[in-house]
């Protein structure tokens, strides 16, 4: 047996009906694994939207650094709701940073849609 015989046999196995089905199943599994990797903040998107809208109402426009103040207020709101829903447990620093990023992304989306 040489490499040419082994590769020819492998190529014939892959090009058979079971081989094609196996390759399609493997590709489908790989794509679903890649698609399921989402940011953690998307699970809290409804709370983030509420936090952004709360911050828009709570912080007036004439406050210095209003963007930072609104981000801080929205983050406080989201963390408060998180603690209430998780029996007082605070999120990890990584999740808090992810939530902060989600607040900024969600705010930009809401502003672009004109729903703020």
* Domain extents in the chain: 3-35, 40-113
* pLDDT band at residue 61 using 50, 70 and 90 as cut-offs: confident
For the whole model, what pTM was predicted? Answer: 0.68
> Measuring CA to CA, which residue among 24, 25, 28, 79 is closest to residue 51?
79
User: How many Cβ atoms from other residues are within 10 Å of residue 64's Cβ?
Assistant: 6
The answer for 114, left when phi > 0, alpha when psi is -120 to 50, beta otherwise, is left
Helices 66-85 and 45-58 pack at an angle, to 10 degrees, of: 140
Residue 1 has pLDDT above 80, yes or no: no
Predicted confidence (pLDDT) per residue in 34-50, tens digit: 877 778 888 899 999 99
Residue 99 has pLDDT above 90, yes or no: yes
pLDDT of residue 81: 93
């Amino acid at each position: 047996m040489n490499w040419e015989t082994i590769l020819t046999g492998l190529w014939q196995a892959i090009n058979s009906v079971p081989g094609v089905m196996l390759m399609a199943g493997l590709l489908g599994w790989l794509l679903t694994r890649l698609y399921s990797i989402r940011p953690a903040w998307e699970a809290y998107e409804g709370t983030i939207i509420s936090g952004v809208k709360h911050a828009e109402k709570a912080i007036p426009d004439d406050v210095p650094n209003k963007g930072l103040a609104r981000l801080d207020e929205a983050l406080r709101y989201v963390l408060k709701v998180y603690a209430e829903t998780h029996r007082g447990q605070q999120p990890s620093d990584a999740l808090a940073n992810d939530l902060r990023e989600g607040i900024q992304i969600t705010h930009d989306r809401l502003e672009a849609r004109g729903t703020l």
